[in-house]
Amino acid sequence: MSSSLESREPLSPSRRRSRFSLFTAVNVLIMLLVLIVTLYPFLHVLALSFNESQDTVRGGITVYPRAVTLKNFEAIFAYGNIPHAFLISVLRTLAGTILTVTACSMVAFALARRDFQARHLISRFLAITLYISGGLIPGFLLIRDLHLMNTFWVYILPATVNVFYIFMIRSYIDSLPYELQESAKIDGASDFLIFWRIILPLCTPVLATIALFAAVGQWNSWFDTYLFNGSNQNLSTLQFELMKILQSSQSGRDAAYANTVTQQQITPDSIKMAITVITITPILLVYPFLQRYFVGGMTLGAVKG
């Protein structure tokens, strides 16, 4: 009996501190390992993009350039349509993100209303589209019949409504007290006023998460340009131009540009690394401003209170 009581005695402060210190040390080591594994590939790509191509061929580059140069980036920006394509990408990212967040949040608000009788039926219908799609050819024919070919709106309208985003926002709205909407309605607020003044401010975390997803999707997209606006240089995007630069550096299809790259002795691998850095830099600049909302938007909406 006495031995069992002794075993249940609380740990002394010194033993507690030793256990806590051991846990902290192991936790720090694991986090450092994850940080190194995550950060090293990016630093390696960054080092290769700023290193001279001929020196890169020798190998041995780790996380810092051995012979610093900007020739890799100069070769990319020497391609004529890059500034205009960058502007088109920025415009499509801003317009597409704003319109996607607005449309998806409005649909999610309607589906979250308990007095909307058809919300379960519409939710099931939308869920089917997550598993079944028309495919590439029917989608192309639809865009053609809607007269969106060679227009800027072909970047925006097809991506306006995303079912996955709608379900995320609806789940978040469902976790909010429904009494907020009922009390506002009793005070005479309209549905639009409830949505604009009550629901949207409370949904800031999930809306910021959706905005990040939509912005990354719009910024990285190039295949829609290839399909619908490939012959229109005025609507070409940055990602599509960078893809053409990469192909030209590897195959020499663009003779003038290939000669420029050859004269500067720039290898396709260096061009590829520089393109990677140009592509991800804008997202890295935007992400810190949305990161504090990101975790809350991904988790709180998944738990219904």
pLDDT in tens, 224-245: 999 999 888 899 999 998 888 8
The 10 Å Cβ neighbour count of residue 227 is 14
Mean pLDDT over each residue of the chain, to the nearest integer: 83
Indicate whether 162 pLDDT > 70: yes
What's the pLDDT at 242?
87
C-beta contacts of 111-119 below 8 A and 24+ residues apart = 111/166, 111/170, 112/170, 112/173, 112/174, 113/181, 114/178
pLDDT in tens, 240-282: 988 888 777 666 555 555 555 655 667 778 888 888 898 888 8
The reply to whether CATH 3.40.47.40 applies to domain 72-302 is no
Q: What is the largest CA-CA distance in the chain?
A: 91
As a whole-number percent, the residues of the chain with pLDDT over 70 amount to 83
Q: Distance between CA atoms of 195 and 102, rounded to whole angstroms?
A: 11
Residue 68 has phi, psi (to 5 degrees) of: -70, 135
Is the whole model's pTM more than 0.75, yes or no?
A: yes
The 10 Å Cβ neighbour count of residue 188 is 7
Domain range annotation of the chain = 2-49, 72-302
pLDDT in tens, 34-80: 988 888 988 999 999 999 888 888 888 888 888 888 888 888 887 77
Q: Distance between CA atoms of 58 and 78, rounded to whole angstroms?
A: 26
What's the pLDDT at 301?
44
Six token digits for residue 258: 């290939």
